[in-house]
Structure 1
Amino acid sequence: MNKLIKISEASKKYNISARTLRYYEEVGLLKSIRNKESNYRMYDQYNMKKLEQILLFRNMQFSLQEISVLLTYKDNEKMMKIFLQKLKEINESIEQLTNFKDILNSVIKISKEIGIENINICNLLREQIYINKKNEGMIYMKNSIITVEFGTGIVPMVDPNQNGTVIDRIKSMRSLIENRMSKQIPLIRLKDNEEMKEFQYRIFIKDRVVFDGCLSNIGYGSKEDEIIRDIENVIIKNISEIDESSCED
């Protein structure tokens, strides 16, 4: 015998509101039966099974539109295509959330280093969002004023995915200079160059090379110190040109 279950009973059983169940009916995912004697709307076993499937897919973050398609498929291969697409979307969401986490960590770290009273939180957050768009500072930045090019041996120090801390240290250094000199320092573009020597690096102001160095004879821990010190010195020595270029842009 096909047992009928009241909507209120289904609501209690699966801890879901009757309003949500009615909405599932409105969009065609479920179909209730009207009891002529009591006038109650009820679900048969087929629709109770469908409800369980709907809730299962909802727990996996599938949209109602996706669920509507999944419920019509009897072919596992077709269902698998939707699963693969959902996996891709989840991975993209994880990447985005990881990026947001990195941005907040950077803001908090810089705030602790230079003092919360010395920074503009909104400006700092805006900067971190921009510089963290893709692979931190190793991104294309139109009309870059300050650029650092480096050989492949320096990449691990710059890449956060390889536990490199150069980018975070550059952010802190820029903020310190801004507060010390009361000037806004433009974002610094970081760019690897396979044609350069392994531990060679160059610092550009616009298209002009203002520093060309090499870290081959320096210990790993000191290499980062050397790069940060050289970038800081270049900025301070060329602050007038940097200011003028920033105004032009």
Structure 2
Amino acid sequence: MRMGPPSPYFCIQCGHPAPQVYKTYANGNLVKLLPCKSCGELMDKYVEYDNIIIALNLILLNPMAYRHVLLNHAFEGFWKLGVVSLFVEAYCFWCSKKGVEHDDATDFYELEINFYTALLRTFFATVLFHAAVLGSCLLLPKTGGDENNVFGFGPRQTNSMKRGSNKRRSLPGNVSPSTSFPSSGNLQFSYLTVWKGLCLSGFAEMFKLVALIWSYANDYERIFLVECLFVLSNTQCYFVTTGISQVKSFFLIGTCYFLTKCVLRYYDQFITL
């Protein structure tokens, strides 16, 4: 769990905020998970889960696992995962073009330059996709909308609760008000949290490396499945961090992904390997 100044945690079932999701006894040797005051379920059952189990749930696109990692966890190495996925994507693209199919007359330095060109292309595509997704958040409703909780569903708030929430609104992930988006309904979220979700979704690129090892780098059917996993994982992260419906999240992420691919087609006409 995250450490630092007091900040709210969130129920991974309904999104109800709470100051803590568990209590410790016997000098920290005994942990008791706390139930949610709104839905009655455990606030965050993934506290007791092993990291491997959490990773498998992320691959299986379990939204509760995404909420645990993005909203209740202290993991700050998202940018490292983003960098690794960037190099993996560049390497796989380089191998599919020039890296593994070359004759003996091919100069080594030419191959090295081609890799840097592929890395530049991948970096450009990543920045473009992230900018498009973050820019799409400006299209979200700033006021009004539903009256649900942080995830956009669950019990409605009373008028007294709404008046109290206007005085002090909690921000997930311990972010400052200066980095927060305008509220969508009662949701408060940040550019940083959305960007972390985009970096987290980069794990899908690792499957391209597996396809390359198994000589499936040019098997477009399998690569298409990896691309689908990439879009769906980004959809789940967008759904978790913004609170809009999964259908709208899929539409926005799919649109940003499609626009990125269209721009890359024009990019490849000028810079090719």
> In terms of Rg, which structure is larger?
1
More strand by share: 1
TM-score band, normalised by shorter chain: under 0.3
Higher relative contact order (CA 8 A, sep 6+): 2
**TM-score under structure 1 normalisation?**
0.24
